[in-house]
Amino acid sequence: MKKSILKLTPAFFAFVLFFTNNTSAQTSKYGLDSANCVQNISLYREFYKQRNYKEATPYWRWVFLNCPASTEYMYADGLTIVKVMMQGEKDKAKLSALMDTLMMVYDQRIKYFGKEGYVLGRKAVDMSKMMPDKIDETYKILTKVYDLEKSKMEAAPADAYFQIALELYKNQKISKDETLEVYEKLSDILSDNLLANPTDESYNQLQENIELRFSEIADCPSLINLYGPKFKANPNDIDLLKKITKMLDKKDCAADKLYLDAVVNLDKLEPSANSKSKIAKMYLAKGSFSEAVKFYNQALELESDNNQKAQYYYELAIVNIKMGQNSSARANAQKALALRPNWGRPYMIMGDAYVSSAKDCGETEFFQSAVYWIGVDKYNQAKSIDASVTNDANARIATYSKYFPLKNDIFFNNLKEGDSYTIGCWINESTKIRARD
């Protein structure tokens, strides 16, 4: 049989020489057989760096069994080696043994190097993928990971946590309330991490994943059933009040009495832009538009973050439209755009304000229909700067383009397709003349 040849580098010889000459200082780290430990670490590492995992395996195994406290990277390398060995293995008994070895690598790393929450999280992710029959055990481990790590919990184990919770709920092994509590925990993790780094790809993906799954099970009655007793027991717990209002907000439950009670208590105990905006949202849901405007303005006075101020101006513009105050809606949408220039939603609001003014901004049916030109312009602007509004913008464009004037009407009003035209009234903006398709 042909033997594989190990390419020994100068660094390898220097490594062995250094540690062989310093064995007395390394006894506690490398064990009683420190020279062999150093030698086997060096041998497996050389093969490992060449991606010759098969030749690295016996040396790595010897180190794993005989020098468990020698080096932490030995455990990370071991995961790669064992996973490579698992690839293509069809013998179920051997595959099961390799999985056990993989779990042992995680456990031994914790024993000698700590970092229990971090390492358990990674172990649980592998368990969720490779050991579906151990879902109950994996769930318990992930619960422990959250208890240990809190907001430091990595995105991958957090994602697995909610996915497994949902599966257990669907199999009637845990309650809906417990599943929602897992979501609540993950929401806190997301808030902390995305506040620190809004562009973090892993946590943004986590947010997308859990919000999609959350929509499968959450509704107003279940959230109220979950939080109602908690509120009754602790009506002045600020952290609880924040969670209640946040969770009910997500599912548009602002019209419920629990939301009202929680947000009013929160505003009394800790008045802030956030609490004022939530009261505004509650009044909006109830149709008390003047009160909603008052509290949005209070929120704007207290808010210092420009992104959040933009959100409040946008929500205030929505209230303006509901009140028929289209000019005010445009003004507030423009304020939102000044703070967040690449956000499409304010343009959508402006388009809505324009098309809802069609009947008021033209003396004849023809000139009223011309107002839809400028409304569609705003929807096009919205999707040109913000892909997230594309579907909504296209739907409105398809709807309101049908109200454009007919070709003959344009001709009989001494106008020409493609020419510039200024919409008067309170709008006073230029657009392009177009005919209905």
Reduced to 3 states (helix: H, G, I; strand: E, B; else coil), residue 233 is helix
Each residue's pLDDT tens digit, 179-208 = 988 988 898 888 888 888 888 889 988 888
The reply to whether the predicted model has a pTM over 0.75 is no
Find the mean pLDDT for residues 31-43: 82
Residue 288 has pLDDT above 80, yes or no: yes
Identify whether the C-beta of residue 283 lies closer than 8 Å to the C-beta of residue 264.
Answer: no
CB atoms within 10 A of CB 327: 13
Q: Buried b vs exposed e over 386-421: b needs ≥16 C-beta within 10 Å?
A: beebeeebeebbeebbebbbeeebbeeeebeeeeeb
Find the mean pLDDT for residues 288-295: 96
Residue 23 has pLDDT above 80, yes or no: no
Each residue's pLDDT tens digit, 405-424 = 999 999 989 899 999 999 99
CA distances from 135 to 79, 163, 168, 169, 171 (A): 21, 11, 8, 12, 11
Find the mean pLDDT for residues 17-23: 38
Tell me what pLDDT residue 222 has: 83
Residue 70 has pLDDT above 60, yes or no: yes
Both structure tokens of 60: 């790595």
Tell me what pLDDT residue 88 has: 82
176 vs 183: CA distance, rounded Å: 11
Residue 67 has pLDDT above 60, yes or no: yes
Residue 136 has pLDDT above 50, yes or no: yes
pLDDT level of residue 32 (50, 70, 90 thresholds) = low
Going 326 to 328 to 334 to 335, the CA torsion angle's sign is: negative
Q: Given the DSSP bridges, would you call strands 429-432 and 420-423 parallel, antiparallel or unpaired? A: antiparallel
Packing angle between helix 34-49 and helix 73-86, nearest 10 degrees?
50
Tell me what pLDDT residue 208 has: 86
| Interacting residues of 81 by C-beta distance below 8 A, sequence separation 6+ | 48, 53, 56, 57, 60
Q: How would DSSP label each residue in 161-211? A: HHHHHHHHHHTTSS-HHHHHHHHHHHHHHHHHHHHH-TT-HHHHHHHHHHH
374 vs 358: CA distance, rounded Å: 10
239 vs 187: CA distance, rounded Å: 13
Each residue's pLDDT tens digit, 85-129 = 999 888 889 999 999 999 999 999 999 999 999 999 999 999 999
Identify whether the C-beta of residue 72 lies closer than 8 Å to the C-beta of residue 109.
Answer: yes
Percent of the chain at pLDDT > 70 equals 92
Residue 219 has pLDDT above 90, yes or no: no
CA distances from 100 to 108, 122, 127, 145 (A): 12, 15, 10, 20
Identify whether the C-beta of residue 166 lies closer than 8 Å to the C-beta of residue 216.
Answer: yes
Going 208 to 209 to 210 to 214, the CA torsion angle's sign is: positive
Each residue's pLDDT tens digit, 328-379 = 999 999 999 999 999 999 999 999 999 999 999 878 899 999 999 999 999 9
179 vs 217: CA distance, rounded Å: 9
Identify whether the C-beta of residue 114 lies closer than 8 Å to the C-beta of residue 130.
Answer: no
